[in-house]
Structure 1
Amino acid sequence: MTLSTTYDAIVIGGGPGGYVAAIRAAQLGLKTLCVEREYLGGVCLNWGCIPTKALISTAKLADSVRHAGRMGVIAPEVRVDVPQMQQFKAGVVKQLTGGVASLLKSNGVDVVMGEARFVSPTLITATTADGEDTFAARRGIVVSTGASTVRIPGFEHDGEVVLSAREAVELQAAPGHLFILGGGVIGMEIGMLYQKLGSRVTVVELADRLLAGVDPEAVRLIEANFKRRGGEVLTSTKALGCERRGNLAVVTVEQGGTRREIEADRVMVAVGFRPNSAGFGLEELGVHLSPKGHILTDDRMQTNVPGIYAIGDVSGTPYLAHKASKEGEIAAEVIAGRPSRRDWRALPSAFFTDPEVAVSGLTEDEARAQGLDIRVGKFPFSASGRAMALGETEGFVKVIADATTDHLLGVSIVGPDASDLISEATAAIELVGRAEDLALTIHPHPTLPESLMEAAMNAHGQAIHIVNRRQERA
């Protein structure tokens, strides 16, 4: 092998973690290379976060117009042109992925589209359409190879009837009946999206509830919404196999010892992800992996092998783009010699179901499971003037605080714009704020964030716009 170029830092993977790591390294004066095997932007920009939200936004808009009669907006024949909706989504993706390429270039990052493989802790090969090149890294190599969808025996993807989420966001027509295997975030987001486009949806989940890890009160609200739209939920149910019959699929499921067959136009498998850590030389270098295949790192994103770092999905859950991006910044800064480390107090997450859910810090159940003495405040959107004006009054804000110190431990939100509202809560937790701090912060009226203030006040029995269960004097 002939050495092509030597860099200060090499990043393997151009997703939300990888491209951020490469840009940050270049900003810090490091000569940087990013190697991507498929497409810049990774899963998030190409068929995950961004495409699904573009489709969800379109479907929500159409659904809102259909039900706007009570607000005086009459549009009896709302129709969604699904191919045109897909073109809109594709335009969003093209603009964002093109933006990533432009940012890498403008920051001086070299990009190679190819398959990377380790030769040593400081040397990789990159196989491209033109052959194989080798590259060396003086200071560090960052692995940001993400994760892939889990395949289930008996549900082999054919891209036509049995789909992964990747194919599900490319459909040119809403299925008559969509069967979803997996009641997690991806399954429920896409299921509720296609409900709004007219599909009948069945969700099968092996666990005893949907959306594991989400506040149970929020889950009950989402499930009720899903069923009200004609959806079927089968929890504690095992999917045994799928058989093609013409253009349809027949799925056999078992619940409580009873088997039944469910016929569907499309089947989407959404049972989770596995890390992309195998097959490119980590094993030969002795990089330590978890039993599930995640690359083990310390809080500076370093592996046990000096000079090799790992970030994002490949280094562990939760699988969140913003977690990968932050870890990318940390890895780049460590390689550049800065005292950076993973030290956040709260990592927010947002789920674009109907209604939206967002969580930061501990949920109420998690806090109680840890044996913490907590104070809980809650404010329903049904008491929010802004939510009423929007016609979106489902849901609530829940604040969890330490009963002794009043420090914020977590916030859960289900309802309108939950994904936007959670950032204020995350900042408050990160700054070691108290529920009282949130309660004393003046919020503009009428707005949805007032509900955070009222929930924090309710934790002390002092909310103004609801009846408090517990009254305490200041």
Structure 2
Amino acid sequence: MSKKTYDLIVIGSGPAGFSCAMQASKFDKKVLLVEAHQQQLGGAWINTGTVPSKALRDAALNIHKFTQQFGDLGGKKAYDLFQMQDLLKFKNRVIDHENSELKRNLIKNEIDTARGFGKLTDPNTVEVTDHLGKVKNYTGKNILISTGSSPKPPALFDVNQETILDLTSLMNLTHIPRRLVIVGTGINAIEYATIFNALGTKVNILNLNDNFLSFLDEEIRNQFLSTLEENRIGVKSNVILKGISFNMLRNYTEVRFTMGKSDELMVIESEQVLYFGKRTPNTTKIGLENVGIKTDKEGYIKVDEHYRTAVPSIYASGDVIGYPGLASASFNQGRLACCAMFDIPASRVNADVPFGIYSIPEISNIGLNESEARAEGYEVTVGRAFYNSLTKAAINNTKAGLLKLVFETSTFKLLGVQIVGDDACEIIHLGQAVMANGGDIRYFINHILNYPTYSEAYRIAAFNGVNRVSKAGVKYRKLLMDNRITD
């Protein structure tokens, strides 16, 4: 067996692994990237998760916008006029492009790749077994584990990839289903519910938790739920699944369940069922026991603030360490882990991280919501801008949407932004920039924003907030001109 030595060996080419490898190459380090997939790079990030879901969403959104603008397509549903294979071709083009870009970056930065399954044999050695069974050993001064996570199989039924789908089989659908039941509690369930609804599918969400989207600001949540109701997306919470089976007589898949403490058995008929259960970290069979790396009870690797494991030469980042499990966070974790392992100073990321759900419409937030700010002792005021007051929304034939600015009443300091509506995941960054620099809401009044844009909602919400404080007894002129606050 041959043996090669590197400054860094990265196991897994997802966002954390890719980011770490790229950063190390910029430090002029010799890097090896180990990827288990025989052909693809990027893991779930590029091939089954983030990228393909957003590609399908944008394709569905274009169809949705078309039908909004020009009517009901002659009485036909989108699934009568558009083929799933055309949507998947577009999705595959995006995936191929992203794979090519990732590969190009690795080559340009002289990062070696090894195809096969990586396994730790000691604190500085990774054994790689390729798909033909050939074994090679590589040594590295440092090792990063970024093997990601996988769907956890359900206990009550099998995901047969035909009538019961998971994220992988979803990407190979042959047609747009007329009816779809989505079982799950996470962001994927919400995103795909609105994607298929935009394609004309009758969608029901079975939420296994007590509450639906309880982590959102209440007003934003209610706005989104109203949109789901308008689009006839059914949501049932506190669901206890009893079974899923195919009824040959009726030619439908039956989903049987109860709700809460009720014993009443309910049944929904569906063409197909899409299951989004919990995910489990890919930490088995990678040799953690060989080096003494500790995991929690769910299998996630324990790390310190520098993403270092219990073994000084081995780091971990991305889904394999648990929360938040977002591609955006994983990119940063990989970069910071790289800086730590090579003792290179790195600025820590601001604690306020934007959160986004790429549903139709989008949801995004950063910082504190209204109730959280009050719970922390702030006296707050809220400025609001509804999308139906925006020229951009009228141009895009969009009515639903709300942007909220949560700010400290006495100083106008911006504490949080919550948005539901078109481009929420894009325009959230304007609020992020102001918050990161300790700014207040008058920034949006005192600076010119392009018109017509969705960003204009910040200006309207800021004026709304100032007006609310003014009505509370503070003179309007003083609010806008107090240099002690605006400097």
Give the structure-2-normalised TM-score: 0.90
| Distance apart, 1:405 and its partner CA | 4.5
CA distance in 2, matches of 1:326, 1:432: 22
Instruction: State the match for 1:124 in structure 2.
Output: 126
For residues 216-250 of structure 1, give each alpha carbon's deviation from its aligned partner in whole angstroms, at most 9, with x where no partner exists: 32222222222323322111221122123346422
CA distance in 1, matches of 2:232, 2:453: 32
Aligned AA for 1:191? A
CA 1:370/1:432 → structure 2, altered by over 3 Å: closer, same or farther?
same
Instruction: State the match for 1:270 in structure 2.
Output: 276
Match of 2:297 among 287, 291, 295: 291
For residues 87-123 of structure 1, give each alpha carbon's deviation from its aligned partner in whole angstroms, at most 9, with x where no partner exists: 1111111111111011111100001111111111111
1:17 matched to 2:19? The reply is no
Instruction: State the match for 1:253 in structure 2.
Output: 257
- RMSD after superposition: 2.3
Aligned AA for 1:254? T
Instruction: State the match for 2:53 in structure 1.
Output: 52
Contact 2:240–2:259 under 8 Å retained in 1 = yes
CA distance in 1, matches of 2:202, 2:73: 25
CA 1:332/1:218 → structure 2, altered by over 3 Å: closer, same or farther?
same
Contact 2:4–2:137 under 8 Å retained in 1 = yes
Q: Secondary structure at the match of 1:435?
A: coil
Instruction: State the match for 1:303 in structure 2.
Output: 309
Aligned AA for 1:321? A
Q: Secondary structure at the match of 1:67?
A: helix
Instruction: State the match for 1:32 in structure 2.
Output: 31
1:350 matched to 2:350? The reply is no
Instruction: State the match for 2:4 in structure 1.
Output: 5
Q: Secondary structure at the match of 1:460?
A: helix
CA 1:136/1:163 → structure 2, altered by over 3 Å: closer, same or farther?
same
Instruction: State the match for 1:66 in structure 2.
Output: 67
Instruction: State the match for 2:186 in structure 1.
Output: 184
Instruction: State the match for 1:108 in structure 2.
Output: 110
How many residues are aligned here?
466
| Distance apart, 1:471 and its partner CA | 6.3
1:331 matched to 2:337? The reply is yes
Give the structure-1-normalised TM-score: 0.92
For residues 263-319 of structure 1, give each alpha carbon's deviation from its aligned partner in whole angstroms, at most 9, with x where no partner exists: 221111113322222331223422232333222222222122201111111112112
| Distance apart, 1:417 and its partner CA | 0.8
CA distance in 2, matches of 1:279, 1:469: 64
Contact 1:345–1:430 under 8 Å retained in 2 = no
Runs of at least 5 residues in structure 1 that lack an aligned partner in the other structure:
none
Instruction: State the match for 2:236 in structure 1.
Output: 234
Q: Secondary structure at the match of 2:156?
A: coil
1:440 matched to 2:441? The reply is no
Q: How does 1:165-184 map to 2 (within 5 A)?
A: 165-184=167-186
| Distance apart, 1:144 and its partner CA | 0.9
CA distance in 2, matches of 1:316, 1:374: 33
Match of 2:139 among 130, 136, 141: 136
| Distance apart, 1:413 and its partner CA | 0.8
| Distance apart, 1:14 and its partner CA | 0.3
Aligned AA for 1:429? M
Instruction: State the match for 1:397 in structure 2.
Output: 403
Give identity over the alignment, percent: 27
For residues 131-172 of structure 1, give each alpha carbon's deviation from its aligned partner in whole angstroms, at most 9, with x where no partner exists: 11111112x111111111222211321111111122223212
Instruction: State the match for 1:412 in structure 2.
Output: 418
Contact 2:381–2:468 under 8 Å retained in 1 = no
